Structure 1
Amino acid sequence: MTEPVSARESWWILAIVGVIGGVLSGAFGVGGGILIVPLLVTLAGMDQRRASATSLAAIVPTAIVGSITYLAAGRIDYVAAILLAVGGVAGSWAGTRLLKKLPLGWLRWLFIGFVLLIAVRMLILLPPRAEGSLDYSVWAGVGLVFLGLLIGFASGLFGIGGGVIAVPALMTIFGMGDLTAKGTSLLMLIPTSITGTVQNVRGRLVDLRAGLIVGVAATAASFAGVWLAFLMSPAVSSYLFAALLVVAAVQLALKALRDRRKA
């Protein structure tokens, strides 16, 4: 069952978490969950499982507004988004089922490892800003569905939107420009995060009150993030986001070690 909201989880703390996540969502083409989850753990005092479920719920409105903004700028590949979403929905269902069963200790350290892996990848691969388009074929379609499956699984398990996987993959493997990759990523996150949230509600894992507050704040802040995305080069964007991920991973690791000592 969903745990009662603690005194630490006041609306203004949740709103701050949402604002940070919303700016990141628009700026980096991600759902924001990869940093919302650590913030919910460290600032709002949630455990890893409930933070992941709450983050995924908050991503829904953020992804909707962010994708609309990229749509207005003509930076979305609809065919790619649909193919990604086909795999994403199935992967999200599987990820949320594992979220309910995995021990909290395993879940916490898996998330920390995942965050560090993404940070290293962003530092190693710095594709140039390009306006290339995807060349469609049967294999490209299969590849997009498979990529969506991986994204959806990570989304359901860790409470992230999956953009940290989708954006670099669309750029380096499928040849998309960075802005189109970010817009396409946000659009596919909508059905993926909705599917995962429905599963978490059924499993009584999600804090809907907290998710609503974080989601509304993130939605309002996402416009500023999209504006920043058009100002940053891919290199600056990658270095900045990698630094934020490392900080988040270190904070989670320190909290995990402190909790272990207390236990």
Structure 2
Amino acid sequence: MDIFVAYIAPVLVGIGIGILSGMLGIGGGTVMVPIFRLAFDMSAIMSTATSLFTIIPTSISGAVSHIRAKTCIVSLGVAAGIGGACTSPLGVWLATISPPWLIMAAAAIIIGYSAISMLRKALKMKPAKVPAVSDEAEAVQGQAAGAVDGKLTRKQLLIGAGIGLGAGLASGYVGVGGGFIMVPLMLSLIGISMKKASGTSLIAVMILAIPGVIEQGILGNINYTAGIMVAIGSIPGAVIGARLVRKVPERILRFIFGGFLIVAAIMLVLNETGIIA
């Protein structure tokens, strides 16, 4: 039983996290932080640090798949990633001087906000009937933004870098990838399609998380064993998720994921207040 909990269970959890990461363009931190905190009984700072560590291989795996499938805009992802890399160390520093309850409160708020945004988007979406129509509509949207061929204006790239700045701060502080911030902003401010935003976000995540992970590693806050076990599952999971983008109804996935995140946020709050142990 101990072997299952220590090794097999984390791998299985990682597969699920990887699939969601590859499909939605998130690093998976919104799922991993509650799991490391509640299931693995890690401290607040170790939960966020280990999550950030696991995010890198997960996002690399998904990003590579998206690049091969041409469901991303590399230049935009790099711009957002560089912006985030500048602020993620600041987020880590803020986490080291913050009380544990504040870190988890911030994580709960971010996770809850992410859940509400996903559910709101899902409610507005119409059930997919004919994939071809959806693909054509996204192609038109991307063309209007000048992003079908991956070529963006300098202004759009600067906006992308600005988006990355905010995502990097959140990434370093609460151990998330920042995709839940970048994807909706890329949709609204830059105008690319959801499918391309997901892949582009993963490129940014794999870049912006690196400085924060290095800093957390130097501080000794990472549980490498748990992180590696989850990554063993999340790496192939992210590949699967990236391939399923065009096949699985996004609306249904958002409902399931949004519901899970709400439960996770509530559990974090209850745990930190001592209502549950």
Same fold (TM over 0.5): yes
Aligned partner of 1:239 among 240, 250, 255:
255
Q: TM-score, normalised by structure 2?
A: 0.84
Matching residue of 1:65: 61
How far did residue 12 of structure 1 move?
A: 2.5
Q: Report deviation, 1:228.
A: 3.1
2:226 paired residue number: 210
- Cα distance, 1:226 vs. partner? 2.1
C-alpha distance in 1 between matches for 2:260 and 2:56: 22
Between the aligned partners of 1:7 and 1:46, the Cα distance in structure 2 is 18
- When structure 1 is superposed on structure 2, of 124-133 and 40-49 the one drifting more is 124-133
Hey, what does 2:24 align to over in structure 1? 28
- 1:97 & 1:62 partners in 2: Cα distance? 24
**Native 8 Å contact 2:78 2:207 kept in 1:** no
Secondary structure (helix, strand or coil) at the match of 1:102 reads coil
Q: Any unmatched runs of 5+ in structure 1?
A: 1-5
Counterpart residue type for residue 146 of structure 1: G
Deviation at 1:193, TM superposition (A): 1.4
- Name the CA shift for 1:223/1:139 in 2 (closer, same or farther; >3 Å): closer
Change (3 A) 1:233 1:13: closer
Counterpart position of 2:130: none
Are residue 40 (structure 1) and residue 36 (structure 2) matched? yes
Match of 1:87 in 2: 83
Contact 1:57/1:215 (<8 A) preserved: no
CA RMSD in angstroms comes to 2.3
- 1:1-263 to structure 2, matched below 5 A, reads 10-125=6-121, 130-131=138-139, 132-133=141-142, 134-135=145-146, 136-257=152-273, 259=274
Give the TM-score taking structure 1 as reference length.
Answer: 0.89
Deviation per CA, 1:68-124: give whole Å up to 9, x if none.
Answer: 111111112111112101211012111111111110011111111111112222233
- Check the 8 A contact 1:115/1:246 in 2, yes or no: yes
Deviation at 1:171, TM superposition (A): 1.3
Identity %: 25
Question: Number of residues paired by the alignment?
Answer: 256
CA distance in 2, matches of 1:9, 1:193: 27
Distance 2:225 2:156 in 1: 40
- Partner Cα separation in structure 2 for residue 152 and residue 40 of structure 1: 21
Counterpart Cα distance in 1 of 2:47 and 2:113 = 20
Structure-2 separation of matches of 1:166 and 1:7:
37
1:9, CA displacement in angstroms?
6.7
CA drift of 1:17 comes to 3.0
Aligned partner letter, 1:159: G
More deviation in 29-38 or 202-211?
202-211
